[in-house]
Amino acid sequence: MSRLEIYSPEGLRVDGRRWNELRRLECSINTHANASDGSSYLEQGNNKVITLVTGPQEPKLRSQMNVTKATISVALNITRFSKIERSKSSHKNERRVLEMQTALVRTFEKNVMLHLYPRTQIEIQIHVLQQDGGLMSSLINGITLALIDAGIAMYDYISGVSIGLYDTTPLLDLNSVEENAMSSVTLGVVGKSEKLSLLLVEDKIPLDRMESVLAIGIAGSHRIRELMDKELRKHGERRLANMST
């Protein structure tokens, strides 16, 4: 790893981006119309994520029912072939995956208007086809899009991005090479506000640098929200045009 120059003196990163540039973000919704009530396909750099939402529907088990609001469940399937090297074990029931599922459920519980759908369950299924760093943020973006496609009422978008700190320079939207070389922060930002729904730091970062990292992260998330919003509006226009003809 050490022979790679993570951030060159000229200010270029391994994949040629500058410090404040996002990776290519492409998304589409309603990709699996027959299989689910809401679906999205998201490519953030080399991350490829399919998200399927079914519901609100009657819970399969009586015990999962809440009489005042809907319950959300997230099933995260990280495929074995998602990384360059195929993983020997299946990732199901790994503690890391359970933790991510819980974090995602708790993130969206506060953003979906659950009180509108009492006694129901909203099931979110995520398939990670390929991962290349900043997985958690891609999952958040994918779920936001799929929930919108399913027509489930939310207060606002939640957009996620990861930021790394290389020496003293914050780098936006890390790929896996960068993620392995430095400490990173994952954010989930609500709409255009500066409110963080999710904040995960997993490695050491100087306390005094946190603020600049958060600032660039919030700006990046807002940009991602814009990109997603643009795609959704395009999708809406297409749908409307198809309806009128």
Give the contacts of 21 (CB within 8 A, at least 6 positions apart). 172, 173
Instruction: Pick left, alpha or beta for residue 96 (phi over 0 → left; psi -120 to 50 → alpha; otherwise beta).
Output: alpha
Q: Which of 3, 5, 6 is nearest to 182 (CA)?
A: 6
- The verdict on 155 binding another protein (CB under 8 A) reads yes
Question: From residue 208 to residue 227, what is the string marking binding to another protein with x (rule CB under 8 A)?
Answer: x-xx--xx--x---------
- CA dist., res. 113 & res. 30, Å (int): 21
Specify the stretch interacting with another protein by CB under 8 A; choose among 4-12, 19-27, 127-135, 237-245. Answer: 127-135
- Six-digit token string for 59: 């819970």
Give me the residues paired with residue 166 across strands. 169
- CA dist., res. 136 & res. 54, Å (int): 21
- The verdict on 229 binding another protein (CB under 8 A) reads no
Instruction: Tell me whether residue 198 or residue 228 sits nearer to another protein (CB atom).
Output: 198
Among 21, 130, 226, 235, binds another protein (CB under 8 A): 130
CB of 10 to another protein, least distance (A): 25
Instruction: Tell me whether residue 18 or residue 106 sits nearer to another protein (CB atom).
Output: 106
Specify the stretch interacting with another protein by CB under 8 A; choose among 11-19, 77-85, 166-174, 232-240. Answer: 77-85
- CA dist., res. 154 & res. 197, Å (int): 14
Give me the residues paired with residue 28 across strands. 41
Q: Edge-to-edge strand order for the sheet containing 183-190? A: 169-172, 158-166, 183-190
Specify the stretch interacting with another protein by CB under 8 A; choose among 6-14, 20-28, 101-109, 144-152. Answer: 101-109
Among 40, 44, 71, 107, binds another protein (CB under 8 A): 107
- Residues in contact with another protein by CB under 8 A are 32-36, 46, 48, 50, 52, 77, 79-84, 86, 90, 92-93, 95-96, 98-99, 102-111, 113, 125, 127, 129-130, 132, 155-156, 185, 188, 190-191, 193-208, 210-211, 214-215, 218
